[in-house]
Amino acid sequence: MEKILDIIDAIAHEKNISKEHAVEAFQEALSNTAKKLTSFTSTFEVLIDHDTKTYSVNKVITVVADDDPKLFVEVGKEPNTKEVESDSFIPLSEAKEFDDSIELGDQLKEAFILEDHGRTASANLFRELEYHIQRRVEQDLFEKYREKVGTVMLGTVNRVDAEDNTHVEIGELKGVMTLRNRIKGEKFKRGDSIRALLRYVSVDPEYGLFLELTRTSPKFLESLMATEVPEIDDGLVEIIAAARIPGERAKIALKTEQMNIDPIGAAVGVKGVRINAVSRELNDENIDCIEFSPIPEVFITRALSPAISQSIKVDAEEKKAVVNITGDQKAKAIGKSGINIRLASMLTGYTIELNEIEGVTERQVDSSENAEAAKTTDTTALADLFK
């Protein structure tokens, strides 16, 4: 086994794991193999010399007091547990029989030659090494994809099972998108390329190491907006909050510290090209872009758009807002099946209560149109120019 460290390097390259992790797996495999060949209560240390590419295994016995409870370990399960002597510790009185200078805490080391145990040792080492290398592969994959949680992943649909779970191939792992994480009305078939948000990386007895994907999370909308809108990706426009009724409607609050940038115009794009691209990805979900305000009254009023509010009273401690609104605007504020007020509440974090008052809200555009008409027809201000 003198060339086994060269084999470990080759395994690290083949399995695409770091050399350090491969060496750690080898050390654990050696230690476990030695325990199987001796006693499970034994302790072994594995030393690696990277310069000479050699290794050594030592059995380690620690000197403890004669009455130390570590001298015995419990084996078995209740009520059939029993105590046996531990091979990892030796009482001080017994150790002094070998060397009178030994003190508490000293360690006695004995070389363990794996080759002396023949084919049994080789077979055990192979199984242990295979197991620990696979664990390191899974660990590296877990860490790799855990860093990508909250980002959009691109994958290919492998199959849709009987429970309507969509199985997606993403790199070295498989992703699973359950029915509740799929936008209503969406259907996928084998071979489709889809984009979805990585919710988390998990280990399941049935699926093993897998990725849970979603297309219904508000974070998915935010990630798509960052992809389509360079100002958001560059940090010039910030997404404060987002709320969705997947597949139907969404509201997203934006703000910017740049005086020369209109956050709503940047998000919508020329002729709506940017927001429409995001909407198409979300199965034609309608998206309302709202400019954020740190003033709750203003923010809630904007969130209820397209309804026009008359006045608003906010209780910041209770996170509750009472909005006075005329009868002709109430239906707009509520929206179809209550969708508008639900989204406004989710976006702002306030419970919104509508209080209908008498009157009719005049369209603001009418006043501007009248002003424009008056402005263009009244020429008296120019009379002095022709005297």
| Distant-in-sequence, close-in-space partners of 127: CB < 8 Å, separation ≥ 6 | none
> What are the E-state strand segments in the chain?
44-49, 54-64, 72-75, 82-85, 89-91, 107-112, 152-160, 166-170, 173-177, 193-204, 208-214, 237-245, 249-256, 286-291, 311-315, 320-326, 351-357
Report phi then psi at 194, rounded to 5.
-135, 155
Give the pTM: 0.70
- Neighbouring CB atoms inside 10 A of 59's CB total 19
User: Domains in the chain, start-ordered, CATH in brackets?
Assistant: 4-145 (3.30.1480), 151-212 (2.40.50.140), 217-292 (3.30.300.20), 294-360 (3.30.300.20)
Residues lower than pLDDT 70 in the chain: 1-3, 75-82, 205-207, 362-387
- Dihedral angle, C-alpha 249, 251, 252, 253, nearest 10 °: 170
As a whole number of angstroms, the distance between CA 200 and CA 177 comes to 11
- What pLDDT is attached to residue 210? 85
- What pLDDT is attached to residue 382? 45
- What pLDDT is attached to residue 78? 64
- What pLDDT is attached to residue 79? 66
- What pLDDT is attached to residue 376? 43
Residues in the chain: 387
- What pLDDT is attached to residue 92? 87
| Distant-in-sequence, close-in-space partners of 33: CB < 8 Å, separation ≥ 6 | 114, 121, 124, 125, 128
- Dihedral angle, C-alpha 219, 222, 227, 230, nearest 10 °: -150
- Tokens (6 digits) for 152: 């959009």
